[in-house]
Amino acid sequence: MDTAIWAAVSLLVLGSVAGLAGNGGRLTRADRRLARIEHKLDLILDHLGLREEDPRLDEVAGLARAGRTIEAIKTYREITGAGLKEAKDAVDRMTA
């Protein structure tokens, strides 16, 4: 009887872990889709000449001008949610 209980508990745990892994995959896919949508919106805003100004971006520009590029990239990513390459490109444009 103890073996049957342990087998049932094990199956429940494995099923729960598999379910969580499946949900994680969907969240990752949703995150990727959201990032693509945000990127497309950014392209549209750029095309229209509109900018979403965030006062915290002045801090990023200050860090970039001070030569603290890594901190600037990290801060930019925290503020905007951008990926590493996008953040690096944005910080590079700030110092150009």
pLDDT tens per residue across span 10-19: 544 445 445 5
Structural domain boundaries enclosing 66: 53-96
pLDDT the model gives residue 20: 47
pLDDT over threshold 60, residue 62: yes
Same domain, 37 and 74: no
74 Cα distance to chain centroid:
12
pLDDT the model gives residue 28: 83
Same domain, 45 and 88: no
Q: What is the mean pLDDT of residues 91-96?
A: 88
Q: What is the mean pLDDT of residues 25-47?
A: 81
Same domain, 57 and 23: no
Same domain, 44 and 63: no
The 3-class secondary structure across the chain, one letter per residue, is: CHHHHHHHHHHHHHHHHHHHHHHHHHHHHHHHHHHHHHHHHHHHHHHHCCCCCCCCHHHHHHHHHCCCHHHHHHHHHHHHCCCHHHHHHHHHHHHC
On whether the pTM is more than 0.85, the answer is no
* pLDDT category of residue 23 using cuts at 50, 70 and 90: low
Tell me how many degrees the CA angle 82-83-86 measures, rounded to the nearest 5.
80
CA distance 24 to 31: 10
| Residue 10, both tokens | 């094990």
